[in-house]
Amino acid sequence: MIYLDYAATAPVRPQVGACVRELLEEDLGNASSLHRAGRRARHHLEAARERIASSLGAKVEEIVFCSGATEADNLALVGTLEHQDTPHSGLITSRLEHAAVFETALRSELKGGQVHWLPALPDGLVDLEALEAELKLNPRRLVSVMATNNEVGSRQPVEQVGTLCREHGALFHCDGVQDVVVAKQLIHSGLVDLVALSGHKMGGLPGGLLFVRQGVAVNPQILGGAQEDGRRAGTSEVLRAVSLATALELHLAEDLARIRQLREAFEQPLTGIEGAVRLGPPQEERRSNHISSWLFGNLSAEPVLAQLDLRGVCASSGSACSSHSVEPSRVLKAMGLPSARALGLVRFSFGWKTTLEEVRRSAEVVQEIVEKMMQKERQKA
Ligand code: PLP
């Protein structure tokens, strides 16, 4: 099997497996209990938080553990806008966002909240001029713009978004799931208030966190105990926290140039396929290292993915959350593609375990499959 779906989930790193197995042997208690088993659990939880804060250049109080980035995105949006002391009201975002942000924004709109939808440019980037114009009209908004789009790998101009937010007194949330390095730089630059990250995209177990800059108030969305400083109730998941800390450290130490070379080696033969179009921005600095998304003529993604699977190549049709559906990609539609074409998105993504041999082999398989399928289509026409 050749696994090229890291943007959906990365294989668990052996070091993560090892540390989780070790913890399972420890008979840990509840991290809120006062006895020694509880204190031991608490020690592991807080040590993981310290490691994460240090990896991201954040303060320990700024890290809120969540069940995943979906929950973190929900908490960022609803938790800040609902807070009684917040001077911010209304949301500015776009249809390029992951469902965790998009659906939350839609719900807020349905409930009567103000949501301004920024237009998307054809290459999958958010329109900065439209953002600036909107912030001039309505400065104290919450702005949500992701670091890298999960379907087409467009790297958003988040530094400029952050600067505009600072200039206009807006709050800035960034879904950093598909670009942890950029998320870390944003945190370091002080240009962002909230950042969501996910463990299983980095080779950890499912689980995530929300970075909440000191001074930003969030209302808990899961109610109950006072865990996570009152911002997220529920028994602390120590294994998840330790897995996240370990995966994050390893992910940040990854050789990004190697991943980019894998992507380039994969793409080079595909550019020769007649009718194949790579999606996303042309300029390298606006592209993610690990995502390569394509349309192959008018082929729908489903049969292509099924053929690839039969040949042992795992790829996807964009967002894993919607990859069971045959709905055209909302992101591609926002980029201006007609619905029929938006059904064709095939996404390949690479990561820590991918080898050059694997990408070369899979590019050959893709080429064989889509050329054969496109030829059949032409004969039918
Ligand atoms: N945000 C982005 C950009 C994603 O790609 C994903 C996962 O597909 C999520 C959020 C949700 O992350 P999780 O699976 O941790 O809930």
74 within ligand 1 shell (Cβ under 6 A):
no
73, two tokens? 């995105």
In this prediction, residues 280-291 reach a mean pLDDT of 96
Which pLDDT value is given to residue 326?
65
Residue 156: pLDDT over 60: yes
127-153 pLDDT per residue, tens: 999 999 999 999 999 999 999 999 999
Q: What mean pLDDT is reported for the chain?
A: 95
200-253 pLDDT per residue, tens: 999 999 999 999 999 999 999 999 999 999 999 999 999 999 999 999 999 999
Angle between helices 36-56 and 180-189 (to 10 degrees): 80
81-128 pLDDT per residue, tens: 988 777 778 999 999 999 999 999 999 999 999 999 999 999 999 999
Nearest-CA residue for ligand 1 atom 12 is 69
165 within ligand 1 shell (Cβ under 6 A):
no
Which pLDDT value is given to residue 93?
98
Cα 129 from Cα 103, distance rounded (Å): 24
Given the DSSP bridges, would you call strands 276-278 and 346-349 parallel, antiparallel or unpaired? Answer: unpaired
98 within ligand 1 shell (Cβ under 6 A):
yes
Q: Would the pTM of this model clear 0.75, i.e. be above it?
A: yes
Cα 330 from Cα 164, distance rounded (Å): 26
Measured in Å, residue 187 CA sits from the centre of ligand 1 at 19
